Amino acid sequence: MAKRIQFSETGTPDVLQYVDYQPQDPQAGEVQVENKAIGINYIDTYVRSGLYPPASFPAGLGTEAAGIVSKVGSDVTAVKPGDRVVYAQSALGAYSEFHNVPQEKIALLPDAISFEQAAASFLKGLTVYYLLRQTHEVQAGETILFHAAAGGVGLIACQWAKALGVKLIGTVGSDEKAERAKQAGAWATINYQKEDIAARVAELTGGEKVGVVYDSVGKDTFEKSLNSLKRRGLLVSFGNASGPVKGVDLAVLNQKGSLFVTRPSLNGYVTNREELAQASSELFSLIASGAIKVDVSDAQKFPLSEAKRAHETLESRVTQGSSLLIP
Ligand code: NDP
């Protein structure tokens, strides 16, 4: 028997149970990974709470981890038992000691990158890759606005933007987080608990505002993000930390300057082995070179058995950077 987190109804972190289970042998094309470090992502809270409910119960949780290949199914050519690997976008169930993953979702881990660094950065780093390199291809010297800049995705974005010569204005919920985002390479920060986002963006850009806003906060910042855009600017709405954006009147895009809005997800950008190889090689080389640092503080490493406390901590907005579960 092994251990995993499962839940039988959606709700608060209290629904998460730490249980025994029998790992299944991998099917054709699948790889069984013995997880050594598990990535916690905000999307896991949406699944648990019922915003993105699972198809059936009891359900596993989590889609990202790093570890060692323990078994492979037939037709697996990408990896072999004993390989160090990382995966993201798996079926629910990564909050576990062993998880079966399709080989297309797996990348071999370079020796220079630890399991913890990989689990802290893979899904979030692939996200930053497509946001900054594909949804809108940022240019050196360009100024952008990025919300929740001291979060897991946010701190990687600050560092990646700096590496590309981009001036990232990061919004944060406290002065402590502002300091952390600045250290990670943000050009400027806005504490949205006490400053008006759009007015500060206008001030910081000499009245010009920005051509692109990356918004994962959702409901609370949607309007403020539109108000921070220059004429024909692009709002990339990629998350719902404060709740989903609903009931938008498209006329508002016309009134605020012929704006564009997109609602992308990683599943729409990294969809096959080639796209994964391209995105992960850019990410891994930035981590290996030290341009992106993804070390997780001890306070944000939780034993797998404490997934409930990990979710409570993430949702209470006190975390900086990524959080991990350790089996
Ligand atoms: P974070 O570590 O960024 O945690 C979420 C942060 O959102 C909080 O720390 C908090 O920072 C901020 N926040 C603002 N308002 C609220 C609120 N009302 N309640 C809770 N938090 C709030 O999480 P992740 O790095 O895991 O993910 C960041 C975002 O990116 C999420 O919204 C996630 O869904 C999205 N995402 C989207 C993907 C996609 O492809 N579309 C892929 C991966 C992630 P502060 O206190 O500074 O405001």
- With a cut of 0.85, is the ipTM above it? yes
Residue 15's pLDDT is 98
C-alpha dihedral, 287 to 290 to 293 to 298, nearest 10°: 110
Same domain membership, residue 69 and residue 35: yes
CA–CA separation, 85 and 326 (whole Å): 16
CA of 130, closest atom in ligand 1: 40
The pLDDT-based confidence of 310 (bands split at 50, 70, 90) is very high
Same domain membership, residue 159 and residue 237: yes
Residue 141's pLDDT is 98
| Residue of 241, 233, 184, 247 whose CA lies nearest to 205 | 233
Residue 191 lies in a domain: yes
Residue 128's pLDDT is 98
Same domain membership, residue 322 and residue 255: no
Same domain membership, residue 260 and residue 275: no
Same domain membership, residue 23 and residue 73: yes
Same domain membership, residue 196 and residue 144: yes
Same domain membership, residue 259 and residue 144: yes
> How many angstroms does the Cα of residue 279 sit away from the middle of ligand 1?
21
> How many angstroms does the Cα of residue 1 sit away from the middle of ligand 1?
34
CA of 317, closest atom in ligand 1: 9
Q: Please write the tens of the pLDDT for every residue from 181-200.
A: 999 999 999 999 999 999 99
> How many angstroms does the Cα of residue 221 sit away from the middle of ligand 1?
12
Q: Determine if ligand 1 sits within 6 Å of the CB of residue 79.
A: no
Q: Determine if ligand 1 sits within 6 Å of the CB of residue 300.
A: no
Same domain membership, residue 116 and residue 31: yes
Q: What is the CATH number of the domain that holds 14?
A: 3.90.180.10
Of 220, 236, 264, which closes a domain?
264
Of 264, 285, 318, which closes a domain?
264
Same domain membership, residue 26 and residue 80: yes
Residue 127 lies in a domain: no
| Distant-in-sequence, close-in-space partners of 227: CB < 8 Å, separation ≥ 6 | 197, 198, 256
Contact between 128 and 160 (Cβ < 8 Å): yes
Residue 91's pLDDT is 97
Residue 131 lies in a domain: no
CA–CA separation, 226 and 273 (whole Å): 35
Q: How many domains does the chain have?
A: 2
Q: Please write the tens of the pLDDT for every residue from 28-69.
A: 999 999 999 999 999 999 999 999 999 999 999 999 999 999
**Omega prior to 13 cis, within 30 of 0:** no
Q: Determine if ligand 1 sits within 6 Å of the CB of residue 238.
A: yes
Q: Determine if ligand 1 sits within 6 Å of the CB of residue 150.
A: yes
Domain hosting 206: range is 140-264
Q: What is the CATH number of the domain that holds 202?
A: 3.40.50.720
Same domain membership, residue 295 and residue 231: no
The pLDDT-based confidence of 262 (bands split at 50, 70, 90) is very high
Q: Determine if ligand 1 sits within 6 Å of the CB of residue 63.
A: no
- Over range 9-31, report the average pLDDT: 98
- Over range 261-275, report the average pLDDT: 96
Of 264, 291, 315, which closes a domain?
264
Same domain membership, residue 42 and residue 111: yes
Residue 321 lies in a domain: yes
Residue 176's pLDDT is 97
Same domain membership, residue 173 and residue 105: no
Q: Determine if ligand 1 sits within 6 Å of the CB of residue 151.
A: yes
CA of 322, closest atom in ligand 1: 2
